[in-house]
Structure 1
Amino acid sequence: MELIYRTIIVFLAGYVFLRMTGKKAVSQMHTFDLLYIFVLTNIISTPVEVNDLGKAIIYGAILVILYKILIRLSLNNKLRWIIYESPTVLIRNGDIDRTGLKKVRMPMNELLSHLRVQGYTDTQNIDLAVMEETGSISVIPKSEYRPIQPNDLNLKVKKEYVPIPLIMDGQIIYHNLKYLQLEQGWLMNEVEKTGEKVENIILATYLENGKLFIDNDVIKKHKGDPYYYNPGEDS
Structure 2
Amino acid sequence: MWHDIFVPDIPTAEKAVRTVLVYLAVYLLLRLVGRRDLAQLNTMDLVVVLLLSNVVQDAVIGPDFSVTGGVIGAVVLMAADWAMVRVRTRWYWAWRLFEGRTNVLVRDGRYDRRTMWRLGVRKADVEQVVRRDGGSDVGDAKRVMLEPQGTLRVELHHAKRSATAGQIDALEERLSRIEDLLRERTGSGPGGGGEEGEEKGGRNGRR
* TM-score, normalised via structure 2 length: 0.47
Which one has a larger percent helix, Structure 1 or Structure 2? 2
Instruction: State the structure with more CA Rg.
Output: 2
Which one has a larger percent strand, Structure 1 or Structure 2? 1
* TM-score, normalised via structure 1 length: 0.42
